[in-house]
Chains A and B, each alone.
Chain A
């Protein structure tokens, strides 16, 4: 069982291991700063638990669980 970002609870941290997504989405996520070894922290969930707010490289962004699932953590 691999550990992906969507299963993190609010306040939990992780470190990116790989991104398993189609080419364009993978590039987009990497452009936003999700590269190998970078630390991420889940800041909060939207009402209904999706999308999620994540801190990466000192800024915040939101993404859906579906995208978070493609980010594999160590």
Chain B
């Protein structure tokens, strides 16, 4: 079996191509850094890997180190270099580095459709001649050229050829030749190209030198002399000279293969207002409010009561029919008060989540996300975060897990950790049902309550950020460099696929975790420890719930039902809704909570630790038990204190 690696700049469409080749449905979006982990798939019997996007093979950035190590250590049988054809120069700069790794290389010019739109044409034959590798032009989104690409993959695998290395100016080439002839490089590890090794040696690349035996003194003297000579000649350090040389090669390749370039008149674009000095931030707030108004308000408001009614009558129907068919009351109970009440309570929210996921996918696909990072950077920085932190926060309104994963594009470690800690404060889609449920019974006709929950989440992010910044003694500044991709019409196919996957994921949870939890909760609340049918008040669940319930007395929900609901919420947040429906029954909620307690309950859920999947993502991304523990304790403590405050305020005001 052959191994193929997809390599290329961020946002060049590697994952879209990966999906087109393998028929899978991996997560795609239009901002640099959607893919943060390598993904494996199969195409035509070959193993194919989708690697995170990189701009270079420098020894500084973690993704670049990973990709470089992967290619050198795993020796894929073919590297497919995915190139954003509208960004030829910068893409070819990476290609010049890939060509030196000694693996067969295939250039794929992606985004053919955008090229045509721009009135640009690339002479692929000429590029192939000059660069010395096969070149295929495709559009991964529109699925053009995929068959030719598959054919070329087979040819390249059947007849593997390492590409020629691009040549630099003669003063550097002479030095490289001397280095290649030196005995030292004859011991380089298997698979390393001589020329590549010579360049790394000249640059003094730390990662490369770690893998090599110590440099003999004579060679070291030669290297130092050479570096000094070149530095004087080019008035720059050797590493920069090499970058410069590579870009010269890329420039030449791009210049000579571009055959037609019509200059188009600038049209009014969305960008004028999206990044407008005054209107950009109001527009962002408006867009996000619109997303929630449409999903929760319009669609949720319309469908939730209907579905609630449906599940209620279904439960009733089952009870009546069950009794007439003389089915054991135990089974009827499990079915109507356990499964239908629990799972139904969660399924009620499918339509509004579908709309939420749909709108978020459109935002992710159109290129707006990177602009939000651009316009919000200044504000985020004053809270110790980076402009890039806003992307996880927006994704977090859908689901916290991918949001936490997406923090990987934040270069600065401290800012990244802080972003991971605050992202769960943004209520995810699964917390929405809880708020909706409580609002229906306690704050009807108070339209401002739902937005208030989001505002509180945002305030929690800001407070934590400001505190972290105040405590941090070394206020180091760091780089914020982000490519702004082109806007594009979201592809209906990919938007639909992502929306469908996320919605089905939610329904799947309802059919598995929630179903099991509902049955379990029903059983535990119907039996005592002696396995006798008892009143809920004496059930196993009540006894267990009473152990932790006292903690919540100050918050106004110190009864066992709430404690149990919160506990089951650890599995998945929407379980809180199903548990409450099973142990209390939604219509009796008002007998248990007073409005102040209800609001405190919502606040506590909003801010306290997320579900187990999100916690696992936090642990993995923080990569430190101590930091993870801190994050969880902070979230819990913060939630507790704020909920207490909220309750006191409501009690005083009302």
Contacts and interface: CB of A to CB of B under 8 A. Distances in A.
A47 to B, nearest CB: 5
B89 A24 contact: no
B479 A46 contact: no
B477 interface: yes
30 contacts: A27-B56, A28-B58, A31-B56, A32-B55, A32-B90, A32-B481, A32-B483, A33-B89, A33-B247, A35-B240, A35-B244, A38-B247, A44-B275, A46-B377, A47-B276, A47-B281, A47-B375, A50-B377, A50-B378, A51-B374, A51-B480, A53-B275, A59-B86, A59-B483, A60-B483, A62-B374, A63-B479, A63-B480, A64-B479, A64-B480
Contact of B240 (A30, A58, A63): A30
Interface of A: 18-19, 23-33, 35-36, 38, 44-48, 50-51, 53, 57-64, 66-67
A62 B275 CA distance: 12
A17 to B, nearest CB: 10
A23 B247 CA distance: 18
Select the residue from A28, A29, A53 with max chain B CB neighbours within 10 A: A28
Nearest to A64: B480
B484 A53 contact: yes
B280 A28 contact: no
Contacts of B281: 47
Interface of B: 55-56, 58, 60-61, 86-90, 93, 236, 239-240, 243-244, 247, 275-278, 280-281, 370, 373-375, 377-379, 387, 477, 479-484
B158 to A, nearest CB: 34
A32 B482 CA distance: 10
B58 A27 contact: yes
Contacts, number: 110
A31 B58 contact: yes
Select the residue from A29, A30, A38, A67 with max chain B CB neighbours within 10 A: A30
Nearest to A52: B374
B89 A46 contact: no
Contacts of A30: 240, 243-244, 247
Nearest to A30: B243
The 9 closest A-B pairs by CB, nearest first: A31-B56, A24-B60, A30-B243, A60-B484, A48-B378, A62-B374, A35-B244, A57-B89, A61-B483
Select the residue from A32, A36, A45, A47 with max chain B CB neighbours within 10 A: A47
Select the residue from A24, A59, A66 with max chain B CB neighbours within 10 A: A59
Nearest to B87: A59
A61 B482 contact: yes
B140 to A, nearest CB: 19
Nearest to B278: A47
A26 B58 CA distance: 11
A23 B479 CA distance: 13
B479 A31 contact: no
Contact of B87 (A25, A47, A58): A58
